[in-house]
A and B are shown apart, each in its own frame.
Chain A
């Protein structure tokens, strides 16, 4: 059973022990990697960046002063590390992308960016809860744009298994997101109704 770091409470990082730190890590790792990846576009490099941020946090946990939440601190630290990393990559295309992104991200408060809507937050949370192998297949299909056949080849499983896992994934998501979906459908129905008045 996973215990989740309570992200809403203002936790005291100074007195955190190893076990609690592990829970913090496991709660936020995946999302922070996805966030870093938005800048770096390389999952392995993103993982290195996030791990480094956590490592540094552990080392200075007693002396550090965090006025915002630990979560904000971590997102900010990951963002800075990512931008630093991109600056040193001497690849022309990456440099152009960095310029575009830097301008874009400087415009917005990144907090709004990440938690844009409650629905998005809920979707991400739900995906996070899908068992690892199944989640991997879902991400490869939805976000990496791979066909079932390609996923089957890559993971050395049958296409039937991919179909089955995808079916289970969407079924689980529907159950978790039921209230949000019905709300949307009701909204659409109302809108359609007013059109026909």
Chain B
């Protein structure tokens, strides 16, 4: 019961509850509330309903049932008409032939639909390329080339529909992206995204590593990360011979300009050494060729090497080093080498 104030009705109370009331109305309602406990109780009831109705797990939607029924009804009528037509036409034909026709018609429709589905899905099929112990190369539908290093995986679509070209990378890969200003190429890997217009670069994004690395060979690359919770974006632009590192834990991106030119050995089989100490050379050779190189005399580590190796075997490379510095190379088993000599 609403007492003592005929100006306040459910319209006002509802506006008050839905926070649609202006200052003046709020004051009027609150004044009305102060007049009687019954008024307070009444508002509480309305409020309870407002709150409980908001808790519905399945939210009601606005639908026009009449037009929905009309639509369905027409559809049923149309289907019924077809059945009647088919039935009347079949009067003169034998039963077996009729059944055969029906089956044939269904098969044609089924295959037709399958063909359409396959055709329509062709563009949007996702391909997965996985490399285990070898480097795998692939050319994408836009002409971009990917070189997957060992133990890596890339997911990409058959066709790049839409206004971006997007792929997902796990592991390490070298990309040569066909330029297309209208369709930027975006590589997703664990919260770090790389956007390019046309360029070539290397990405290292192994799931068990806490960093994602991008090294640019030609062109310009943007490395960005979007925080899932806050939607903040941090990004850096990388130019030629620059490396960007995204730290998965701190979620920070930093740029490194002093790059070891032998980063891409796995891809181009080229090693360049300029006044490089053998200590570093040996470390690199061990990584690239998966061998162990022991040094008998620690002075050997200080020898500085100037050489370029292209597509050479580890035996040949060590041979050259031995000759350069008057060292002896010995090989035990298949993967263990020893360098011995006076050193530098």
Chain A interface residues (CB < 8 Å from chain B)? 18, 22, 25-26, 29-31, 33-35, 37-38, 43, 46-47, 51, 54-55, 58-59, 90, 113-114, 116, 119-120, 123-124, 127-128, 132, 135-136, 139-143, 147-148, 163-164, 166-171, 173-174, 177-178, 181, 184-185
Q: Contact between B56 and A123 (Cβ–Cβ < 8 Å)?
A: yes
- B12-47 interface (Cβ within 8 A of A): 12-15, 17-18, 20, 41, 44-46
Say which one of B62-70, B236-244, B303-311 lies at the interface with A. Answer: B62-70
- Residues of chain B within 8 A (CB-CB) of A164 are 11
- Residues of chain B within 8 A (CB-CB) of A173 are 49, 53
Does more than half of chain A's interface fall in helix, strand or loop, or is it mixed?
A: helix
The answer for the CA separation of A36 and B55 in the assembled complex, in Å, is 18
Q: Contact between A167 and B61 (Cβ–Cβ < 8 Å)?
A: no
Does more than half of chain B's interface fall in helix, strand or loop, or is it mixed?
A: helix
The answer for the CA separation of A164 and B9 in the assembled complex, in Å, is 10
Q: Which of B12, B46, B64, B75 contacts A174 (CB 8 A)?
A: B46
- Residues of chain B within 8 A (CB-CB) of A124 are 56, 58, 60
Does any Cβ of A come within 8 Å of B71's Cβ? yes
Does any Cβ of A come within 8 Å of B86's Cβ? no
- CB closest chain-A residue, reference B57: A116
Question: How many residues on the B side are at the interface (Cβ–Cβ under 8 A)?
Answer: 40
Min Cβ gap B43→A in Å is 11
- Residues of chain A within 8 A (CB-CB) of B63 are 29-30, 33, 43, 47
Q: Contact between B62 and A127 (Cβ–Cβ < 8 Å)?
A: no
Given the contacts A164-B11, A167-B11, A139 and B62 also touching, CB distance less than 8 Å: yes
Given the contacts A51-B68, A124-B60, A173-B53, A148 and B20 also touching, CB distance less than 8 Å: yes
Q: Contact between B48 and A184 (Cβ–Cβ < 8 Å)?
A: yes
Given the contacts A35-B58, A167-B11, A170-B49, A90 and B124 also touching, CB distance less than 8 Å: yes
- Residues of chain B within 8 A (CB-CB) of A136 are 62
- Residues of chain B within 8 A (CB-CB) of A58 are 76
Chain B interface residues (CB < 8 Å from chain A)? 9-15, 17-18, 20, 41, 44-46, 48-50, 52-65, 68-69, 71-73, 75-76, 79, 124
Q: Contact between A127 and B76 (Cβ–Cβ < 8 Å)?
A: no
Give the 9 A-B residue pairs with the shortest CB-CB distance, closest first: A167-B11, A167-B10, A171-B10, A143-B59, A166-B14, A163-B11, A170-B14, A148-B20, A136-B62
- Residues of chain B within 8 A (CB-CB) of A166 are 11, 14-15, 18
Given the contacts A47-B63, A136-B62, A170-B14, A142 and B45 also touching, CB distance less than 8 Å: no
Residue of B60, B72, B73 with highest tally of chain A CB at under 10 A: B60
- Residues of chain B within 8 A (CB-CB) of A135 are 60, 62
* 6 more A-B residue pairs beyond the given contacts A142-B54, A181-B48, with a C-beta to C-beta distance below 8 A: A34-B58, A58-B76, A120-B56, A139-B62, A148-B18, A163-B14
- Residues of chain B within 8 A (CB-CB) of A22 are 69, 73
Q: Which of B9, B57, B61, B75 contacts A33 (CB 8 A)?
A: B61
- Residues of chain B within 8 A (CB-CB) of A177 are 49
The answer for the CA separation of A30 and B65 in the assembled complex, in Å, is 7
Q: Contact between A143 and B68 (Cβ–Cβ < 8 Å)?
A: no
Q: Contact between A29 and B65 (Cβ–Cβ < 8 Å)?
A: yes
Please, could you name 8 A-B residue pairs with CB atoms under 8 Å apart, sorted by A?
Answer: A33-B61, A43-B61, A120-B56, A135-B60, A139-B61, A142-B54, A167-B9, A170-B50
Q: Contact between B58 and A139 (Cβ–Cβ < 8 Å)?
A: no
- Residues of chain B within 8 A (CB-CB) of A174 are 45-46, 49
